[in-house]
Structure 1
């Protein structure tokens, strides 16, 4: 995790963010669930989308948890979407 800590700190510095405000484990859990339950390329895209929503102020406090739940229930969610016509 040493490299991950260094990378996080340097990336935060470059982006003008406070590394103390980054919940690394929460984001890693998010990307793990999306990668395993939806598709691997969806993981970084989802992290980016959550970041955009957070930055624009449209993400709720529980946005990450809601997206993790959506990923865990991906099969059911897509089934329901396909039958809602």
Structure 2
């Protein structure tokens, strides 16, 4: 039986192959850490939403030539993480 890390690694490989982006380094730990911060500091459903928006922002920045893919990804993760860490999770 595969470990969770092996399953995630295999899934990431499947995704990058399917989207034809295997030349881009994906830091799964950074993305999972971002999801955890969003889930705990905002609300649980913020995890997938936060990672999606960060990925979209990174893709747009790289696609418009504003940054390399690696730098765009790192910048988007850092910004989303800072915003999530600043949240209290309490409704206004």
TM above 0.5, one fold?
A: yes
- More helix per residue: 1
Mark the CA change 1:6 to 1:60 in structure 2 (over 3 Å): closer, same or farther: closer
- The gaps in structure 2 that reach 5 residues or longer are 67-71
For residue 38 of structure 1, what is the aligned residue in structure 2?
42
Alignment RMSD: 2.6
Give the conservation status (yes or no) of the 8 Å contact 1:34–1:68.
Answer: yes
Gaps of 5+ in 1: none
Q: How far 1:19 moved relative to its partner?
A: 6.4
Q: Which has the higher contact order (CA 8 A, sep 6+)?
A: 2
Provide TM-score, normalisation by structure 2. 0.72
TM-score (norm. length: structure 1): 0.78
CA contact (8 A) 1:8 1:19 kept: no
Aligned residues: 79
